[in-house]
Structure 1
Amino acid sequence: MYLVYEHIDRGSLRKVLYGDEGSLELNWRSRVKIVQGIAHALAYLHSDCSPPIVHRDVTLNNILVDSEFEPRLADFGTAKLLSTNTTSWTSIAGSYGYMAPVIYI
């Protein structure tokens, strides 16, 4: 069994935001593109996948950015598949200092 990764030129979003040359190139248009891309990825995982997937570790280190500032969501090590016919609570997982918000309906 093999795991194949796509080469991502700029690395993680943390490197792009806080690195030496990355923050100089990251204008507002690029920032909006990154936010929209991650929102689209999360919407796809939660609404379009069957069963739905909860990532549980969306951090700057787990968002990779290519040369065109297109984001890629990475590191699904703590992801969880949810059953579509039940209400599920997940245990705390992910990077230290991050916890997904709780939504009450």
Structure 2
Amino acid sequence: MEKGSLNKLLANEEEAKQLTWTKRINIVKGVAHALSYMHHDRSTPIVHRDISSGNILLDNDYTAKISDFGTAKLLKTDSSNWSPLLEPTATSLQVTEKCDVYSFGVLILEVIKGKHPGDLVSSLSSSPGETLSLRSISDERIPEPRGQNREKLMKMVEVALSCLQADPQSRPTMLSISTSFS
């Protein structure tokens, strides 16, 4: 893909400044729609298991494409899929779409912050119910979001927090997230 990975763009000072709030919002929406398709619109759902900024590629128009399906798992509706490798806050080792939902929540915060939100995610897991102000987590390399972009980003922060719920069953589906972004 022409622009490379989202991770590399966010890590590069000049390229990150080119990622306006509108572009970032559209990237998050694109990933949400792709994950919704993978989880809900296929006869055999796919769990990617490695949703991260390094696996989101961008074309010249900053359209997001999910890559690296090396650890992806096809879910069979008649059996359980187990893995010890997923999401650090999970109490269950079952591989479900909710694993990707958790990673998507981390991705949203990374796109808004402009860097991986590891410390923020850790503090959220130790303080459930905490709220975040958009100003406190926005990437300072670009102008503060205003108007509709501000409203959309505040909605995305709300979605991210719901995706990061410790109980996988409390997390939304990618279909509901994708629909809410439309």
- The TM-score by the shorter chain falls in which range? 0.7 to 0.9
Matched, 1:103 2:95: no
2:65 corresponds, among 62, 72, 75, to: 72
Q: TM-score, normalised by structure 1?
A: 0.79
CA distance in 1, matches of 2:36, 2:55: 17
Per-residue Cα deviation, 1:25-66 (whole angstroms, up to 9, x for no partner):
100000000000000010000001120000000011100011
CA distance in 2, matches of 1:33, 1:83: 31
Q: Which ranges in structure 2 are unaligned for 5 or more consecutive residues?
A: 91-98, 103-166, 171-182
Q: What are the within-5 Å matches in structure 2 for residues 30-41 of structure 1?
A: 30-41=23-34
Contact map agreement 1:57 1:93 (CA 8 A) in 2: no
Aligned to 2:38: 45
Aligned to 1:4: none
In structure 2, relative to structure 1, the CA distance for the partners of 1:60 and 1:84 (3 Å cut) is same
CA distance in 2, matches of 1:13, 1:59: 9
In structure 2, relative to structure 1, the CA distance for the partners of 1:41 and 1:80 (3 Å cut) is same
3-state DSSP of counterpart to 2:49: coil
- How many equivalent pairs are there? 96
3-state DSSP of counterpart to 1:40: helix
Identity among equivalent positions (%) equals 44
Aligned to 1:3: none
Aligned residue type for 2:72? A
Q: Which ranges in structure 1 are unaligned for 5 or more consecutive residues?
A: 1-7
CA distance in 2, matches of 1:68, 1:47: 26
Q: What are the within-5 Å matches in structure 2 for residues 15-26 of structure 1?
A: 15-26=8-19
Q: CA deviation at 1:75?
A: 0.2
Contact map agreement 2:75 2:81 (CA 8 A) in 1: no
Indicate the structure with greater helix content: 2
Q: CA deviation at 1:92?
A: 3.4
